[in-house]
A and B are shown apart, each in its own frame.
Chain A
Amino acid sequence: MIQHLASLPILIPMLAGVLLLMPPCGKNLQIRRVTSVILSLVTVLVSAYLLFYINSTAPMVYAIGDWSAPFGIVLVADRLATLLVLLTSFLGAVVVLYSCAGDDKKGSFFHPLVHFLILGVNGAFLTGDVFNLFVFFEVLLIASYSLLMHSADKHSTRAALQYVILNLIGSSVFLIALGVLYGVLGTLNIADLAQKVPQLTGDDVYLAKIGGLLLIVVFALKGALLPLHLWLPNTYANAMPLVAALFAIMTKVGVYAILRIYTVIFGENAGELAHMAQPWLWGLALATIVMGAIGVLASQDFRKLIANLVIVSVGTLVALVAIQNVSATAALLYYLVHSTVICAALFLIADLIAQQRGKVADRLVAGRPVAQPFLLGICFVIAALAVVGMPPLSGFVGKIWILKSTLDSEKAMLFWPIYILASLALLVAVSRAGTSLFWDHKHKDSEAIEGSKAHPLKVTAVIALLACSPLMVVFAGSISDFMLATSEQLFDINTSINAVLQGGQ
């Protein structure tokens, strides 16, 4: 039984999605909600157990259908993949909980789609095969297209149309890149690719380089890296805030793919192609941070501001990927978990604020006061402090760690000023947003809308996300040890190649 554990984070959401479409759940909203919450919690528990299990033993390699690598598809549950699976499952469970307060009624099939999205994201993290990565990308994309249209109005139709077309082009580029890589290397298994890339000679080296660099285009599109980030602010600001919160993990799938491919396949062992993507990633990442910071300053409404915060975090993460050492990658993982959770929390808070402010919603203009200024104010302050990176929350720890891990490399000269100035811009923009959301009223005696208090389930969901930030500070010691171990495991390429190619239980 235990050897099937690695496949469960994919199987459970899939079965959950199917089950939720079936008669007892499909008809009755109450049963559907209860089933959905229970199944998402089961996914979280299984992911947590998988993480606990592989952390104490070796990474788990699961050969689907018992076809051993490189001929069959393998799932590789190492620390990195499983950590992100746990993060996804947790975020999914929180979103499901939040939706039970009424947002799931606004369109059809919300719960099954969320589970299918979790299935796609978990699969993308766990798979050890590049073509299978493409398949799981498509699974998560089709779920995200439909979620984007959940309770859609005019603007989200337009945003969704652009998002879908862009991603379809991205998928075509992905397939072309895979075709090139397969044509040259004769395999699509990540471990096998990593083994074969250093043996390339002659013209094949250039073909593999073309394939590898085309992959950057795809992952930059998914991860919203400059210049392919233009879809993100519009899409995230027009999706339902709840859906946008779930999408916070989707840019991280792109970052994860970049990290995995350009560390394992085109990393330091890749002979002539070693570190071939680094100069590109480095420049683009810094430009992304700058563009994101400008976007944050220029945002006219709160959700667009958060969307631009996501872009800044993607830029920071990819810059750390480009540095390519163990401590920078460990800092990256800490920051990735922190930024995903906090950006998701911010989207949910934006939803609560927008509902209580009536017509002006989340636009950053003078409007009615919110009905629960104390509760929402506290939530906002915690999230804002965390996202800007002020002490004492997780953003601060992450920021210090990032700065410290980049100190030794010569790249610090460029990275430090840009990153710190961007943080300053974030601080200015977020505090300005808070001021106008909470204190800027049109008339002095304008009153809050009656009966617009937040549903307790929604507040619980937001608090569950926000609680991660102080917890990540309290347990920073053991978490950072774990992140370092994760990062060492990722960089120990030969061991993982051997585990995949010889293993497969």
Chain B
Amino acid sequence: MEVLYASCVGVLVACGIYLILRARTFPVVLGLTMLSYAVNLFLFSSGRLTINKAAVLGSGSEYADPLPQALVLTAIVIGFAMTAFVVILAIRGRADLGNDHVDGHMVKSSKEQK
């Protein structure tokens, strides 16, 4: 399970970073979303991976650590709000700057194509 889980996180991070390095806002937003999924999974695993254990301390020799679950919940909520904000900002940027490039430059080739 650990290997599967770790490679999931790794693939998500790799995809996220690749997309963040793109020049347009939409892939960047998708990349940020993927990165935050990866981070949430990673945070979740920081309490060790267990199956079928109660999330209570002291009720048995093994337990599922409840704290990372709370942390992940907080991170999901915050990440969701931030993604919503960046989507709105990207739309505003598209309207204000006339293109969807992250650095806002006009691309000459697209002009020439017109």
Q: Residues of A with Cβ closer than 8 Å to B?
A: 131, 135, 138, 141-142, 145, 149, 153-154, 157-158, 160-162, 164-165, 168-169, 171-172, 175-176, 178-180, 182-183, 188
A142 to B45, CA, bound (A): 27
Give every chain A residue within 8 A of B45 (Cβ-Cβ).
179, 183
- Contact partner, A158, options B20, B67, B83, B97, Cβ 8 Å: B97
Measured CB to CB, the closest approach of chain A to B58, in angstroms, equals 12
- Contact partner, A179, options B20, B42, B102, Cβ 8 Å: B42
A-contacting residues, B63-114, CB 8 Å: 67-68, 71, 74-75, 78-79, 81-83, 85-86, 89-90, 92-93, 96-97, 102-104
A466 to B79, CA, bound (A): 39
Measured CB to CB, the closest approach of chain A to B63, in angstroms, equals 13
Q: Which 3 A-B pairs have the closest CB atoms?
A: A158-B104, A183-B46, A179-B46
Measured CB to CB, the closest approach of chain A to B53, in angstroms, equals 16
A183 to B46, CA, bound (A): 4
On whether the beta carbons of A161 and B89 are closer than 8 Å, the reply is yes
A142 to B86, CA, bound (A): 10
Give every chain A residue within 8 A of B42 (Cβ-Cβ).
175-176, 179
Measured CB to CB, the closest approach of chain B to A132, in angstroms, equals 10
Given contacts A158-B104, A182-B47, is CB(A142)–CB(B97) below 8 Å?
no
19 contacts between A and B (CB under 8 A): A135-B74, A135-B78, A149-B89, A157-B92, A157-B93, A161-B90, A161-B93, A164-B82, A164-B89, A165-B20, A165-B28, A165-B32, A168-B32, A172-B35, A172-B39, A175-B40, A175-B43, A176-B42, A179-B39
| Chain A proximity mask over B11-44: 1 for CB below 8 Å, otherwise 0 | 0000000001000010010001001101110110
On whether the beta carbons of A158 and B81 are closer than 8 Å, the reply is no
On whether the beta carbons of A157 and B96 are closer than 8 Å, the reply is yes
A339 to B97, CA, bound (A): 35
Given contacts A165-B28, A175-B75, A179-B43, is CB(A154)–CB(B103) below 8 Å?
no
Give every chain A residue within 8 A of B47 (Cβ-Cβ).
182-183
Nearest chain A residue, comparing its CB with the CB of B74: A135
Measured CB to CB, the closest approach of chain A to B31, in angstroms, equals 9
On whether the beta carbons of A142 and B43 are closer than 8 Å, the reply is no
Nearest chain B residue, comparing its CB with the CB of A211: B46
Given contacts A157-B97, A168-B82, is CB(A178)–CB(B43) below 8 Å?
yes
On whether the beta carbons of B86 and A168 are closer than 8 Å, the reply is yes
On whether the beta carbons of A164 and B35 are closer than 8 Å, the reply is no
On whether the beta carbons of B102 and A161 are closer than 8 Å, the reply is yes
On whether the beta carbons of A169 and B35 are closer than 8 Å, the reply is yes
A84 to B114, CA, bound (A): 55
On whether the beta carbons of B103 and A162 are closer than 8 Å, the reply is yes
A158-B104, A172-B36 given; name 20 further pairs at CB < 8 Å: A138-B78, A138-B82, A154-B96, A161-B89, A161-B93, A161-B104, A162-B103, A164-B82, A165-B28, A165-B32, A168-B86, A169-B35, A171-B79, A172-B38, A176-B39, A178-B71, A180-B46, A182-B47, A183-B46, A183-B48
A175 to B48, CA, bound (A): 16
On whether the beta carbons of A154 and B97 are closer than 8 Å, the reply is yes
On whether the beta carbons of A157 and B89 are closer than 8 Å, the reply is yes
Give every chain B residue within 8 A of A138 (Cβ-Cβ).
78, 82
